[in-house]
Structure 1
């Protein structure tokens, strides 16, 4: 049996890894994919149905699932479009981060709170559509940011991450941007005015 650990991988990586493992079997055998969310399970079982594979799915623990494929003789594949990921889970909410800390008071506490807030966004069932960062918030999308991995995880889930170019330039961070894209005040205003909700931590 070929075992693939796709825990922590964003769509469509679990499906991509599963297809690669199935191809490596050269015709027959079993593949087990470990994932950490139900959406990945749904995407993998959908792929199995498309390919006519025998499959089973099992919840092993909290945020740990096993999906197994039994591959017999090679089944001719139907022409497929690019793998469809889970339904869009983003809302029309825009999150605006204008500082490298959350709230007023102790700076160290403010930074800890903001890091926890950004991590908490990654755990939501409904994600924001866009995260806008300006002024001191520009530091968060740059090299050395303690929340870079969480922002990259959100971007991988389809969340648009935009940092103010004027702010990056002002703080000398233009070359250090490590996630998302650069934007301007016109777009920031447009995104905020067009949002169903604007959340400012």
Structure 2
């Protein structure tokens, strides 16, 4: 049985390693080894989400999660189609540096998620995420390369004088934004 040793890795690196292995096989088993509770809970949540059978063995400072992939059929459920509305360049109130870091981590985590949004709409200061020095720009570009449609408000770009910095995505009018929001099955607002 394959052992995936994820001790000392961040939660995103753990999920990346687990996904890499299970995406490379049709069916099979593996034991994932982590050394913290956050890693343990993320692996369990991932396995449950994918429909894998799991068996957990907890030891002091070491968690073994046996995962088994058998006949797990994944289908695109209408309920899982979603869009995201980004209205700020940071998450939360308070410390701007923390909010910018959280937004960057959000896009990094979104890239690792199994179901990507159909589209992401950027309004107001959310368009600042397209600045060349943005912490999130490369992860946003990766989503675009994966086929996520990016709509960027023309009015917001003009206001922040960022139109010239747009190298990917679609500059859109407010009408385009309204149409996209109306068509969205689910709309998540950040």
What TM-score does the superposition give when structure 2 sets the normalisation length? 0.58
1:172 aligns with 2:161: yes
1:97 is the counterpart of 2:86: yes
Shift of 1:179: 2.7
Q: How does 1:56-67 map to 2 (within 5 A)?
A: none
Residues of 2 paired with 1:193 and 1:108: CA distance? 33
Aligned length in residues: 127
Q: Which of 119, 124, 130 is matched with 1:130 structurally?
A: 119
Partner of 1:105: helix, strand, or coil?
A: coil
Report the alpha carbon displacement of residue 155 of structure 1 after superposing the two structures with TM. Answer: 0.9
Given that residues 142 and 179 in structure 1 are in contact (C-alpha distance below 8 angstroms), is that contact kept between their aligned partners in structure 2? no
CA offsets 1:172-195 (integer angstroms, 9 cap, x no match): 111011331101111111111111
Does the 8 Å CA contact 1:96/1:200 hold for their aligned counterparts? yes
2:151 corresponds to: 162
Provide the secondary structure at the position in 2 that maps to 1:120: helix
- Deviation, structure 1 residue 92: 2.4
User: Retained in 1: the 8 A contact 2:84–2:120?
Assistant: yes
TM-score (norm 1): 0.55
Per-residue deviation, 1:37: 6.7
Q: Is residue 167 of structure 2 the alignment partner of residue 150 of structure 1? A: no
- 1:85-134 Cα shifts (integer Å, max 9, x gaps): xx979952110111111111211111111111111110100110000001
Cα-to-partner distance string for 1:3-35 (whole Å, 9 max, x where unaligned): xxxxxxxxxxxxxxxxxxxxxxxxxxxxxxxxx
Once the two structures are superposed, the pairs formed by residues 33-72 of structure 1 within 5 Å of their partners are: 36=20, 41=24
Shift of 1:139: 1.0
Structure showing the higher helix proportion among its residues: 2
- What SS class does the counterpart of residue 95 from structure 1 fall into? strand
| Structure whose alpha-carbon radius of gyration is higher | 1
Q: Secondary structure at the match of 1:140?
A: helix
Unpaired segments ≥5 residues, structure 1? 1-35, 43-58, 63-86
The answer to whether 1:187 aligns with 2:176 is yes
After TM superposition, where is structure 1 displaced by more than 2 Å over at least 4 residues in a row?
Answer: 36-39, 87-92
| Among candidates 81, 105, 110, match of residue 121 of structure 1 | 110
Change (3 A) 1:37 1:104: same
